[in-house]
Structure 1
């Protein structure tokens, strides 16, 4: 097999090349020719096309990253050991422990091939955590689908759930949380965002760089195949045409195929290599495959690398250099190793039966040179591939429809005013797809494998034990109400941050750091870029106010079908630390009769973007709830003090569905009844279904009630006695409104997803 060489490129400057088919613009192709001083070879063109894709280069979003920099204070920066630009963010959680976490998207691949798209999304994010030197501890998945009654949702959702569960279960990683959201805006463009969290000793942190002239580059893990050529790097940088049969789409790259058993062995192999101290730098092979791994390692190191591409182990015959470089075959890692340690490296890989091949070495030339059977097929400055791609200042324009959307206030919608109407609404909301139990999904995941899980879904946040000897652990939550963001991208994103922050705090953990997965429509739409800029600025300024840094994340553009974009969906993940998981706060109320239920925070008439407006009226309009981050910070401090001093027996945040949904879930999760008193001075409907932010329902032992409420009063946190725990009743009684037996509530809450998906 012959290949297009650098020598041939110099002698045939006018050869037509398929740059448009590979996703490059005419000016981008011209820039590549300018960088190289000639036309690119086929292999170079493939490298630039995948590395300059939206998914890999962030070419439409990176100009907005200034908001992270200007809003990260030195105090916030001090918490981070590694941040934006690394494979994953890393924070110091105390006692010599570091925790790394990150969330990424696998949206388009999961629509094309639901099982493998979701499975390889999990595999990819796990390898990002491995590449930092950590043992992966747990995964979370944030999923969004279209109309649950739609036939295509019934095709996509079961496959995605099976892919997430199948891969994670085979790896032996617990799935401890996440979201499942339904909205017609995701029809034809589901969102599959996967998060992984891992832990290591601080001194074991590894970064992705190729330093040390003469050091060897070793590719290890699975063989390279034709699956996933271009994969997520190209697929995530295109808009679906709108023809859901697929016949009207552009030719799409193949979706990667995962092998979790290979990855499980790869995890153990990597951890032993780290323990032996024989790795200088390491990079996983995810989006853009070898193109990414070689160019990023070289660019972040001494600047030069020579790769013998014909040494790469293949599982398909006849592969061209361009195909090998752009293949996104899974379960592969690339390491930089000192020559004296190569034999030891190979022995560890052989012990774990992991294929390892020396494919290159670090040079001081400042060039990435790749040869194929003795001929040079790539000779490029690695930085121009990895880090110096296009940078677009896309037009930004507030959509003309934004004013009418905000003016369409839900205050005009008919509200239930009788006890029967409130009861009917509560049951309808409880059984609605977005509020119903997720057990049909989560029972397909192993939530407790490895024995470190402390809290898992349906708790407000997942919690994992990091240190067996001290009980130190971390809690993680992901959140986003995209309807809030649609109404007000700035405030809506801060509401997502506030909810994730609150969900971590209600477990008794101290919020410490943020990751994010920003899912938006086409960046070529000025209205989408207005949403994006507002969301990024809202998140950055919100994090500054809360004092927790953004450690990294992912941008996913082109989430739309035809001209119709999804609601802007900036998923925010918050990680918190708890010094002893034994003092965690459960979500469900306990069986201690007479414990007092206290509602923390203020309830206002706020229904813009609410679940009630969505479920009962199919309405989206108005303004989202007010977000008060100073109040959120105070609320978290109160919860943490209550946890440390043993003043709280349960805590559950109020979000979608308001107080009514929080009561239903607290009773059903705790399998305990309650007697609830509403405020006689406020409308019953507003109290039950408002989605005002900054509120938590807590259960307080009678012996601690006075101490707890005095603390709230002294700190200026509004509170109200909302009722008592009543285990004997077997019901949720809302005085002067209705009484609902737990069996009736459970039937409404648990039957929805099984009835929809079988």
Structure 2
């Protein structure tokens, strides 16, 4: 291929195809370089100035997030965030989106999303210990969607299982708006056995840049730009922008990086994963953070395809690759170390002090630009924002459900795809590998023990985008607090958050308002419970034919369990245990699963969330668990009390007999700040005195798997085994 000249790029506006606007191109050529950028240079700017790499549309909003606490060792700006958990140990975690690639090549899109997030963890020197995911698809009504779901799930399982990491939690939802724009968000959690970690920096004059890992090919070129684009019927979905993964190389790379940092920390000055925008983003960011310059020689880069030009090598997002900064006296040791793991490791450049980013290819200087121009000089946009008209029109609307038969509605709700058991999917994932998993998928949080201690890490991710669509601020708060309730219900103390912010086009004032207000809601909730946001990812332009997805922030939360004796699950344990609801139930049907079931429409506003009451209930539950007063605990979310009771009964094939003042409709209300708990009869008095307010004793757990329910409206008996069978098999039936 003949590369277009700098003049052709300008005259034919080729840069527009790569995502640069006219004003951005003019800024680069007239103010920064004071000349026309050549083909390679224009490519570098196009990926580094994409939303995916620069956050140019979202930086203003992201600054509203709290990112400090007494535990924070590293926050935003590193490959992953790090929190101190005592005993000279730290937990490291981050989430990433791989939405657009998964829409085009679902298996590889999902697999490489998992691979990329794992590298973010071990680039900090941490040992990855667990994976989670948050997935959103269109309704399970056609072969195309079912194929997409199967391939995404297979990609996640295929990569995680091969590398030997347990997938311990996650969520899957199905809504119309994700039919052409699925969301695939992956989260990884790791452990650092001391609180020293490696920064992603390249510092020190004449120190060397070492490339490690798989060879570079032509896959994933312009992946970062592709991630910042919208889908339409006519726009070609670039398969070439999707990366191809190899978990077996990643396993070698992970083991090698963790070992070299642990045993030979003095050898490595800096390390970074080659993720979005590949070689350019990793090297430019490392140099910019250190205030350095770099000279790279692309002839040294290991290549698996012939005649690659500089543009292709720099923009390739081939997987399983890392960049290291190494002192010259240690470079032979480093190269030999990685050779022992059968990995390519070569010196491809060195650090300079002139703050210039220079690239040579075939002995020709193909790039010579200020390194900060790629990372620091990106324009930051202050987008116009407007409250969506629907919120003004529907602010007083209240959905009123009609329950003709409690038994019929109950059974129908349990079979709705958003509520039904997801075991059909998560049984693909190995959740027990490494033998440290204490709580597997299906409970409120995944829990993984820390070997050699009494401690464990609880982890979850939550995203109810229907709430965020109705009220972005309150919906953002709910996402955080639901995640926190999941951690608390598992016996943990919430300590920190990562996020994936999935939205439509930020140039649309309504979409930007949704982003801004939901981040304000997330921030206010995080401040209330002291869970700083220490890492994350923004994914904008999630649209198809100019129709956006629901605003979909995913909150990934990690909690610390100080003693594994406090690990609690959702399942009812013993017949005769008393069943309580902590928290008041009101008529909260807007945005509920019942509203979607009965009307098929999402409409209305949300009640304001009382953060003080939410925190009070969480603190009470944590205290009750630490005092060994609680046998089981489940947070109330989708489907409300009826669904929570059912799920808690199914696992051990128990039943319950309850008598409540709630109406039949309120059994499906989705009022926030509530927990369903069971308590042994001998602990009744102590528990009730501890909770004191906002508590109702509903009844007891029974040995017979029957659901005997008396509401303010009617009494019913539901066969628990039949209900459980329907709940377990609903998804499998739909997937046939």
Contact 1:596–1:721 at 8 Å: present in 2 too?
A: yes
Find the aligned partners of 2:464 and 2:9 in 1 and give their Cα distance.
Answer: 52
Query: Pairwise mapping of residues 304-343 of structure 1 onto structure 2 (< 5 A)?
Result: 304-343=293-332
Match of 2:192?
200
Find the aligned partners of 1:213 and 1:264 in 2 and give their Cα distance.
Answer: 32
- Select which of 701, 710, 730 maps to 1:725: 701
Contact 1:605–1:690 at 8 Å: present in 2 too?
A: yes
* Secondary structure, aligned partner of 1:571: strand
CA drift of 1:406 comes to 3.1
Match of 2:673?
694
* Secondary structure, aligned partner of 1:401: helix
Match of 2:100?
108
Q: Deviations over 1:533-552 (max 9, x none)?
A: 10111111221122221112
Match of 2:409?
425
Bigger shift: 354-363 or 150-159? Answer: 150-159
- Select which of 85, 109, 118 maps to 1:93: 85
Instruction: Give yes or no for the alignment of 1:589 onto 2:572.
Output: yes
Contact 2:104–2:238 at 8 Å: present in 1 too?
A: no
Match of 1:706?
685
- Select which of 17, 20, 27 maps to 2:16: 20
Match of 1:64?
61
Change (3 A) 1:79 1:617: same
Match of 2:152?
160
Find the aligned partners of 2:200 and 2:467 in 1 and give their Cα distance.
Answer: 37
Query: Pairwise mapping of residues 728-739 of structure 1 onto structure 2 (< 5 A)?
Result: 729-735=704-710, 737-739=715-717
Match of 1:261?
248
- Select which of 650, 671, 674 maps to 2:653: 671
Find the aligned partners of 2:158 and 2:706 in 1 and give their Cα distance.
Answer: 37
Query: Pairwise mapping of residues 410-489 of structure 1 onto structure 2 (< 5 A)?
Result: 410-411=399-400, 413=401, 415-417=402-404, 421-466=405-450, 468-489=451-472
Bigger shift: 558-567 or 625-634? Answer: 625-634
* Secondary structure, aligned partner of 2:394: helix
Q: Deviations over 1:283-339 (max 9, x none)?
A: 001100001011001101142111111110101111110000000000000011111
CA drift of 1:13 comes to 10
* Secondary structure, aligned partner of 1:603: coil
Contact 1:57–1:386 at 8 Å: present in 2 too?
A: yes
Moved over 6 A (4+): 1-4, 11-15
Contact 1:473–1:578 at 8 Å: present in 2 too?
A: yes
* Secondary structure, aligned partner of 1:651: strand
Bigger shift: 396-405 or 50-59? Answer: 396-405
Instruction: Give yes or no for the alignment of 1:684 onto 2:681.
Output: no
Find the aligned partners of 1:449 and 1:252 in 2 and give their Cα distance.
Answer: 33
* Secondary structure, aligned partner of 1:691: coil
CA drift of 1:101 comes to 0.8
Query: Pairwise mapping of residues 68-467 of structure 1 onto structure 2 (< 5 A)?
Result: 68=65, 71=66, 76-231=68-223, 233-241=224-232, 243=233, 248-249=235-236, 253-275=240-262, 276-277=264-265, 278-411=267-400, 413=401, 415-417=402-404, 421-466=405-450
Q: Deviations over 1:340-378 (max 9, x none)?
A: 111111121011111111101111111111111221111
Contact 1:625–1:693 at 8 Å: present in 2 too?
A: no
Find the aligned partners of 1:248 and 1:488 in 2 and give their Cα distance.
Answer: 32
Find the aligned partners of 2:245 and 2:355 in 1 and give their Cα distance.
Answer: 34
CA drift of 1:387 comes to 3.1
Bigger shift: 643-652 or 382-391? Answer: 382-391
Change (3 A) 1:333 1:13: closer
CA drift of 1:183 comes to 0.4
Q: Deviations over 1:498-519 (max 9, x none)?
A: 1001100000100001111111
Find the aligned partners of 2:278 and 2:502 in 1 and give their Cα distance.
Answer: 22
* Secondary structure, aligned partner of 2:241: coil
Find the aligned partners of 1:13 and 1:403 in 2 and give their Cα distance.
Answer: 46
Q: Deviations over 1:602-626 (max 9, x none)?
A: 1001100000011222121122244
CA drift of 1:397 comes to 1.1
Find the aligned partners of 1:399 and 1:341 in 2 and give their Cα distance.
Answer: 58
Contact 2:252–2:341 at 8 Å: present in 1 too?
A: yes
* Secondary structure, aligned partner of 2:395: helix
Q: What TM-score do you get using the length of structure 1 for normalisation?
A: 0.94
Find the aligned partners of 1:312 and 1:17 in 2 and give their Cα distance.
Answer: 30
Contact 1:132–1:205 at 8 Å: present in 2 too?
A: yes
CA drift of 1:581 comes to 2.0
Instruction: Give yes or no for the alignment of 1:54 onto 2:80.
Output: no
Find the aligned partners of 2:367 and 2:468 in 1 and give their Cα distance.
Answer: 44
Change (3 A) 1:464 1:250: closer
Over the aligned positions, Cα root-mean-square deviation in angstroms equals: 1.7
Contact 2:212–2:344 at 8 Å: present in 1 too?
A: yes
Q: Can you give the 5+ residue segments of structure 1 that lack an aligned partner in the other structure?
A: none
Contact 2:653–2:721 at 8 Å: present in 1 too?
A: no
Q: Deviations over 1:261-300 (max 9, x none)?
A: 1101110010111021121100001100001011001101
Q: What TM-score do you get using the length of structure 2 for normalisation?
A: 0.97
Find the aligned partners of 2:203 and 2:215 in 1 and give their Cα distance.
Answer: 25
Find the aligned partners of 1:504 and 1:216 in 2 and give their Cα distance.
Answer: 44
Match of 1:505?
488
